[in-house]
Amino acid sequence: MTPNSSSRRLGLWLVGARGSVATCVAYGLGALREGLIEPTGLGTEAPPLDALDLVPLDNLVLGGHDVTRRALTRTAGELARHGVLRGELLEAGSGLAGEYEARIRPGVLDDADVGFADLDPQAADRSGAPPRERVERLRADWDEFQAETGVDRVVVCNLASTEAWREPRPAWNELGAFERALDAGEAPPASTLYAYAALGSGRPFVNFTPSLGATPAALRALAEREGVPHCGNDGKTGETLLKTVLAPMFAARALRVLSWQGYNMLGNRDGEVLADPLHRRAKLESKDEALRSILDDPDLHTGVGIDYVPSLQDWKTAWDFVHFEGFLGVRMSLQLTWSGSDSALAAPLVLDLARLAELAAARGEAGAMEHTACYFKSPLGGGTHAFHEQVERLLEYARQRS
């Protein structure tokens, strides 16, 4: 029997713990507890999801892995200067943030990413260890976190920078082969190693990035075998969200989209990493998939440009141009300009997903959490990309469990 949520305690483990999103999660949680902010952006705090038996925000404890030693207060100070964290929230959240930072452990970096970060020597050391040993050390960190804090369950959430795209390997398709490769010292991408460590030790895994994570069949089989829920990939926070909201409108009105061209400017670490072609490839594939799936027209022309514009700092500006044809062959257009703080958009979704993953685990649900599709650019459970249909699926899940 599932114990009542109010008595359950959740350890939320953030990979990429010193980054902007994680920092917003920590300071936001602090500000919510102090009553300084409304739970804006948190779907799980609003009807109808708030009727679910979710673990209360007060019962969350944070920990995490990171490959750098950059102080959390430095990230927070930058977010304040960039207009994301108000000064008073910086102060209010400092207690919770301090406790959280004390629980951050050196993480594991993807081989291809060496050189893209100011690496912590301890993290470098861990990243160089044989893959099996890396897995063991991650699990040991989680065990220790759980022992120290007494949380009932740990949910691991990947918020680290996008990894470089890699050619898929046959061993990723089958769990036995995957584990033999590990034994042989062949390391999968770091995000997949985290997923393996988490799922294999019964811990739900949320992949909020376009990195590989638990996408390979081997990892999905592991989740099923261990009876653990997981979800991903790539949080749907801005431009792609708009695409999956608007494209179904064109379909419903039988209007023919000729071209859908998007241009993204990012100023944060994410933008810097995506300036590299291999890292960008992972991201772009995830961004382009939705439109093709919803509009289903072989002649559709799409394109997504990404540029790093440092002066934007934590802000992202996306411009979309939709060229479409209506009755009589008349050509018309829709343009969108989205200007938002990526971190402030992502952080509440991380909290929502952690709570939904905890609930799924508490109820014994295993495998891809199909009801979370509306949160992701490439939902692991598949299905439609149309946002409102995805939301309907989540509401249906909530109705059945409320």
- Report 330-359 residues binding a second copy (CB under 8 A): 330-341, 344-345, 347-348
Tell whether omega for the bond before 264 is within 30 degrees of 0, i.e. cis. no
| Position among 52, 124, 129, 258 found at the interface with a second copy (CB under 8 A) | 258
- Rounded to a whole number of angstroms, the minimum distance from the CB of residue 27 to a second copy is 7
- Rounded to a whole number of angstroms, the minimum distance from the CB of residue 320 to a second copy is 10
Q: Which is nearer to a second copy, 311 or 400 (CB)?
A: 311
- Rounded to a whole number of angstroms, the minimum distance from the CB of residue 96 to a second copy is 14
What are the C-alpha distances in Å from 117 to residues 125, 308, 322, 324? 14, 16, 36, 42
- Return the structure tokens found at 76: 């927070």
35 binds a second copy (CB under 8 A): no
What are the C-alpha distances in Å from 350 to residues 206, 250, 252? 8, 30, 31
Give the whole-angstrom CA distance, residue 270 versus residue 124: 21
Stretch that binds a second copy, among 8-16, 39-47, 172-180, 365-373 (CB under 8 A): 39-47
- Rounded to a whole number of angstroms, the minimum distance from the CB of residue 261 to a second copy is 6
Phi-psi region of 83 (alpha: psi -120 to 50; beta: other; left: phi over 0): left
**Residue window 140-179: x/- pattern of binding to a second copy, with contact defined by CB under 8 A:** ----------------------------------------
**Residue window 235-254: x/- pattern of binding to a second copy, with contact defined by CB under 8 A:** ------xx--xx-xx--xxx
Q: Binders of a second copy among 89-148, rule CB under 8 A?
A: 89
- Return the structure tokens found at 145: 């976190």
The angle, 0 to 180 degrees and rounded to 10, between the axes of the packed helices 20-33 and 342-362 is 70
Give the whole-angstrom CA distance, residue 192 versus residue 258: 37
Q: ∠ CA(24), CA(125), CA(209), 5° rounding?
A: 35
Q: Which is nearer to a second copy, 169 or 253 (CB)?
A: 253
Residue type for position 382: G
Q: Which is nearer to a second copy, 69 or 323 (CB)?
A: 323
Stretch that binds a second copy, among 9-17, 119-127, 213-221, 256-264 (CB under 8 A): 256-264
34 binds a second copy (CB under 8 A): no
| Position among 125, 148, 186, 307 found at the interface with a second copy (CB under 8 A) | 307
Q: Name 363's Cβ contacts closer than 8 Å, sequence gap at least 6.
A: 2, 401
- Rounded to a whole number of angstroms, the minimum distance from the CB of residue 311 to a second copy is 4
Checking DSSP bridges between strand 315-325 and strand 331-341, what pairing results, if any?
antiparallel
| Position among 61, 85, 123, 151 found at the interface with a second copy (CB under 8 A) | 85
Stretch that binds a second copy, among 26-34, 66-74, 129-137, 277-285 (CB under 8 A): 26-34
- Rounded to a whole number of angstroms, the minimum distance from the CB of residue 277 to a second copy is 13
**How buried is 117 (Cβ within 10 angstroms: 0-12 exposed, 13-18 middle, 19+ buried)?**
middle
CB pairs under 8 A, 24+ apart, for 181-185? 182/131, 182/132, 182/135, 183/132, 185/130, 185/131, 185/132
Stretch that binds a second copy, among 95-103, 128-136, 207-215, 324-332 (CB under 8 A): 324-332
388 binds a second copy (CB under 8 A): yes
- Rounded to a whole number of angstroms, the minimum distance from the CB of residue 305 to a second copy is 5
Stretch that binds a second copy, among 2-10, 34-42, 118-126, 131-139 (CB under 8 A): 34-42
Q: Binders of a second copy among 193-232, rule CB under 8 A?
A: none
The strand ranges marked E within 6-136 are 10-15, 60-66, 104-106
What are the C-alpha distances in Å from 179 to residues 156, 172, 269? 20, 9, 33
276 binds a second copy (CB under 8 A): no
- Rounded to a whole number of angstroms, the minimum distance from the CB of residue 45 to a second copy is 7
Give the whole-angstrom CA distance, residue 56 versus residue 50: 10
Number of residues that bind a second copy (CB under 8 A): 76
Q: Which is nearer to a second copy, 21 or 198 (CB)?
A: 21
Query: How far is it between the farthest Cα atoms of the chain?
Result: 69
Stretch that binds a second copy, among 128-136, 191-199, 311-319, 363-371 (CB under 8 A): 311-319
- Rounded to a whole number of angstroms, the minimum distance from the CB of residue 344 to a second copy is 4
Residue type for position 26: A
Q: Name 220's Cβ contacts closer than 8 Å, sequence gap at least 6.
A: 214, 367, 368, 380
